[in-house]
Chains A and B, each alone.
Chain A
Amino acid sequence: MTLASRVIPCLDIKDGRVVKGVKFQGLRDAGDPVACAGLYERQGADEIVLLDVSATPEGRDHALDTVEAVRSVLSIPLAVGGGVKSPDDAGRLLEAGADKVGVNTAAVSRPGLIGEIAERFGTQCTVLAVDAAAGEAGWEVVVESGRKRTGLDVVEWCRKAVTIGAGEILLTSWDRDGTRSGYDLDLITSVSSVVTVPVIASGGADRPGHLVAAIEAGASAALIASILHDGDTTVGELKAALREAGMVVRP
């Protein structure tokens, strides 16, 4: 088996710029999306995720332009999420140049959305994005950038979403997002052990060792943002560390 573990830079997009915060708040500018995506591809990124965090109609239109601009230079896969409420929303992102579409809040309100997108565009194109907040017993799904708790159990929600049509899970620990304190490994193991689709670990990466631990915990891929945008490391350095730890990565 040679399927490689993936390293995926994530660009949060607002008004045509890359932004980054801590626990989804206090956003600061982190550069031009086309320049960032191109740079990370040259560093060896296996895929790029764009999350539109603008949450306004004007922002959504702006995001389509960003997807188109990034697509024109990018020759690796592009997954896009943020504000997708219907198969038509997904269709617009795909038409602009996304290869996969992430659904989050709208799917929590209406799980059938996952099946509708999967039926029209395929499960391989349908990514469930989940924001998980740690509780006393397990994890709870939070939506609207973490402002709203849902009472949904994360593991149960992921299991259900896969039966409906999700082909991949982007699993973000809300508690760890932007904190650089390492991925929530228990969360990764709990979800990846109940689904057959790939799980992307997200939230908390700081050191190469964090990525190694996420893969060992069951993730197929590791999402990174802050440590790249701050220029503390490169995709190439992270992949070299994974290779040294005995993981299969694409050179």
Chain B
Amino acid sequence: MRLVTIVPTGTANTASVVAALTRLGALVEEAASAGDVETAQGVVLPGVGAFGSAMDRIESLGLGAAIRERIEVNRPTLAVCVGMQLLSRHSEESPGATGLKVFEETVGRFGDGLTVPQMGWNRVEPGPGSRFVESGWAYFANSYRIDRLPDGWAGSNTDHGGKFVSALEKGDVLACQFHPELSGEWGARLLDRWLQRVETAA
């Protein structure tokens, strides 16, 4: 069974994430409590508008510690777009807010002179140790990004006015700056590889 629990981050495109996972045979539920996040076979932390408001929402639901903990013990977890950024400590987008602090690297805005938001399809190149991500085209919609690889993580690269970290993976944890649910067949294959881990780890 591919049982997946989605963290309700008050989100913009949860419907697309649910549709993509459902097409791949997953049964998707919404997390109602920290207990749900702790015990879920697979957890998805979807992308939302802003770093600060997403963190507020997670903390007000009391889910922050449970998300951090399951990542520490390597339970299958997928973070998408702002969801990936939430794993960091801080973001330039919301200077007062504190993230989930899974790693210390911070999130910064793309430099001047670029089209921002980066909106559209860009190349993703997996780095050493990547097991989930393959080389291909992914759909991005972001103004902020992480540009240094955190210790202990395998990273993928993408270029938008300089290289940034477009995906992070460690064990059964996958974080994508792009939207796999909107990245066509390439994205579907990536989600399928992660869902296989959800099945195996269950």
Binding site for B on A (CB under 8 A): 1-6, 41, 46-47, 68, 71-72, 74-78, 94-100, 118-125, 167-168, 196-198, 220-221, 250-251
Contact = CB atoms under 8 A, between A and B. Distances in A.
Interface residues of B, number: 41
Nearest to B118: A3
A76 B12 contact: no
A76 B116 contact: no
A21 to B, nearest CB: 28
B126 interface: no
B160 A4 contact: no
Contact of A78 (B16, B82, B121, B159): B16
- Counting from the closest, the 8 A-B pairs by CB-CB distance are A122-B49, A124-B141, A97-B15, A250-B121, A121-B12, A4-B121, A2-B123, A250-B137
B183 A198 contact: no
Nearest to A90: B12
Contacts of B50: 122
Given A3-B118, A3-B122, A72 B137 contact: no
Contacts of A77: 139, 141, 179, 182
A251 to B, nearest CB: 7
B72 interface: no
A2 B123 CA distance: 6
Contact of A75 (B114, B122, B188): B188
B122 A4 contact: yes
Contacts of A220: 115, 119-120
Contacts of B120: 3-6, 46-47, 198, 220-221
Nearest to B81: A124
Contacts of B140: 3
B19 A251 contact: no
Contacts of B187: 75
Contacts of A4: 120-122, 137
A176 B50 CA distance: 37
B181 interface: yes
Contacts of B137: 4, 250-251
Contacts of B121: 3-4, 6, 46, 250
Nearest to A251: B137
Contacts of B117: 123-124, 167-168, 197-198
A41 B16 contact: no
Nearest to A44: B184
B182 A75 contact: yes
B183 A124 contact: no
A71 B13 CA distance: 11
A195 to B, nearest CB: 9
Nearest to A72: B19
Contacts of B20: 75
A29 B119 CA distance: 31
B161 interface: yes
Q: Which of A98, A100, A122 has the most CB of B within 10 A?
A: A122
Given A3-B160, A4-B121, A76-B184, A197 B115 contact: yes
A93 B122 CA distance: 26
A202 to B, nearest CB: 15
B77 interface: no
B182 A198 contact: no
Contact of B142 (A6, A119, A124, A198): A124
Given A2-B122, A167-B141, A196-B114, 8 more contacts: A1-B161, A4-B120, A47-B120, A75-B184, A94-B12, A97-B16, A97-B19, A98-B15
B48 interface: yes
Contacts of B122: 2-4
Contacts of B59: none
Interface string B1-13: 0000000000011
Contacts of A75: 20, 23, 181-185, 187-188
Nearest to A195: B115
